[in-house]
Structure 1
């Protein structure tokens, strides 16, 4: 089990190193330990997924001894952080976020916040991704600020295996009587992405991918439902994508 009071903590995100969410996460992490590092994208990388920058060189901009901006993706940040910047002083845990907006259901496959935690997990460093859900124009960080440290302590005490990351989402408004922590499953929406077609000054069409329009899943334990009900969603995400039932079926078919 990680001793958070003596832990070396690495923080990253996909909203960029100057985003309010990562500043709040650093502030909260410093309540655990004085040994907190921030290695994050120099610019917003939302929707970058688990992508690496392969066709151009990457640059690391050192702001001070423990703050570094990388002109790449969240995955780049963790890779460079663990194998370059912190190679002689590796972190005990990676905290990613706090994302501006939820990472629920299919968001897991698109999210750079999740990707940072995923890359850390692949490199055998325990990782938690944090997101603050909101539905309007203004985001309220109150729920994340209130509950993040208690959730982190409980997760670290419980532990989780290698090859698994933890995805935590905070609701916009707490349920009546206060938000409960609920261990949820990854939900699945019936998606209808809103794609707007517009035209530039020369009359040529272009397209803007907008908000996801969807119906919520019926499963009351799905992360999307948990957040809708004003509770905190904690979902263990496995990096093993193998579908074992189909694996067994195909093995018999080809034997």
Structure 2
């Protein structure tokens, strides 16, 4: 009997119809049985929001290809806990995003959130993003995605909560590096306007891009070296140094009890 092909879940935040998603599907299709479960519209910067106050609807576009009228995290949740619950995916991939997800972007990105939601549920996950503006050319990002997913599936065992954020520069990359998150800024503009009824409204988000020169960072790999950045992420957000500092604070009227600090 031939070995069973691994199931590969694909999602994104640009919508089930996006060019980046189609490129990613084509890249990983030779590696396993691909299932697409993605938002039915663009959800860029949706972060890790999930829909708890309204029902969700799933539309089957074609075999193993579904559109969800929710967020990227909703799509991953429904895929793993409903559509694929009887045979969970071996790996989840998200993207290819139409734009960068470097540095602090991972906190806002719906592309990363879909992968993070899957990793929360024990599915090794990779988010892919193309650092470019239109017109987009996904060929190099797709080729790297195919190679990285093949390498991941070839491992004897992947950490079940593995989460990688991959950014690919525009044009042909010089190679790739395993990186840390960097720091960058798009500026902090607030544009105030007025509607025809005299009510003010606001556009937020800047366009003045700057990044810090941090050796080993994803920003440096992309902008200085034209390399693909592969950044492992984890979910431990506790600031252990601040725990020690907070222990020295004195709060009038309250008794402080020390807690065990596993992992110190």
Fold match (TM-score > 0.5): yes
Q: Which residue does 2:135 correspond to in 1? A: 138
For 2:177 and 2:244, how far apart are their aligned partners in 1?
A: 32
Q: Which residue does 1:23 correspond to in 2? A: 22
Q: Cα distance, 1:187 vs. partner? A: 1.0
Q: Deviations over 1:13-42 (max 9, x none)?
A: 000000111111111111212x11000001
Q: Cα distance, 1:183 vs. partner? A: 0.7
Matching of residues 96-175 of structure 1 within 5 Å: 96-134=94-132, 136-157=133-154, 161-174=159-172
* C-alpha RMSD over aligned residues: 2.1
For 1:252 and 1:204, how far apart are their aligned partners in 2?
A: 49
- Out of 83-92 and 156-165, give the one that drifted further: 156-165
8 Å CA contact 2:187–2:206 kept in 1: the answer is no
User: TM-score, with normalisation over the residues of structure 2?
Assistant: 0.86
SS at 1:40 equivalent: strand
Q: Cα distance, 1:137 vs. partner? A: 3.5
Q: Which residue does 2:262 correspond to in 1? A: none
Equivalent residues, number: 247
For 2:113 and 2:58, how far apart are their aligned partners in 1?
A: 19
Q: Deviations over 1:185-216 (max 9, x none)?
A: 11112452233222222232211224453421
Q: Cα distance, 1:130 vs. partner? A: 0.4
Q: Deviations over 1:132-158 (max 9, x none)?
A: 111x44222232133221233334456
SS at 2:50 equivalent: coil
Long gaps (5+) in structure 2 = 250-255, 259-264
Long gaps (5+) in structure 1 = none
8 Å CA contact 2:186–2:207 kept in 1: the answer is yes
Larger-Rg structure: 2
User: TM-score, with normalisation over the residues of structure 1?
Assistant: 0.89
SS at 1:38 equivalent: strand
For 1:51 and 1:78, how far apart are their aligned partners in 2?
A: 12
> Measured at CA, do residues 26 and 247 of structure 1 come closer, stay the same or move farther in structure 2, by a change above 3 Å?
same
